[in-house]
Amino acid sequence: MRVISGKYRGRVLNSPKNEDIRPTTNMVKEAVFSMLQDYMYGARFVDLFAGSGAIGIEALSRGADVCVFADKNKDSIDIVKSNLEKISVSSEVLYLDYLSALHRLRDGAYDVIYIDPPFANTDIKGMSQLILKYNVLDTDGIVVYESLFNKKDKPILDGFTLIKSKKYGTISIDVYKLNSESSDGV
Q: Is the pLDDT of residue 1 over 50?
A: yes
> What CATH number did the domain enclosing 141 receive?
3.40.50.150
Residue 169 lies in a domain: yes
Q: Is residue 171 part of a domain?
A: yes
Domain membership of residue 8 (yes or no) is: no
Residue 54 domain flag? yes
The CB density around residue 165, as the number of other CB atoms within 10 Å, is 15
- For residue 186, is pLDDT > 50? no
Q: Stretch 39-67: mean pLDDT, rounded?
A: 95
> Taking residues 73-93, what's their average pLDDT?
94
Residue 17 lies in a domain: no
pLDDT over threshold 80, residue 18: no
User: Is the pLDDT reported for residue 145 higher than 50?
Assistant: yes
pTM of the model: 0.91
pLDDT for 22:
63
165 in any annotated domain: yes
Q: Is 149 inside a domain boundary?
A: yes
Number of domains present in the structure of the chain: 1
- CA 132 to chain centroid, in Å, comes to 16
Residue 133 domain boundaries: 26-182
**CA-to-CA distance for 134 and 116, rounded, in angstroms?**
19
Percent of the chain with pLDDT over 90: 62
- DSSP states along the chain: -B--SSTTTT-B----SSTT--PPPHHHHHHHHHHHHHHHTT-EEEEET-TTSHHHHHHHHTT-SEEEEEES-HHHHHHHHHHHHHTT---EEEES-HHHHHHHTTT--EEEEEE---TT---HHHHHHHHHHTT-EEEEEEEEEEEE--TT-----TTEEEEEEEEETTEEEEEEEE-GGGTT--
Question: Within a domain: residue 4?
Answer: no
Contact 132, 159 (CB under 8 A): yes
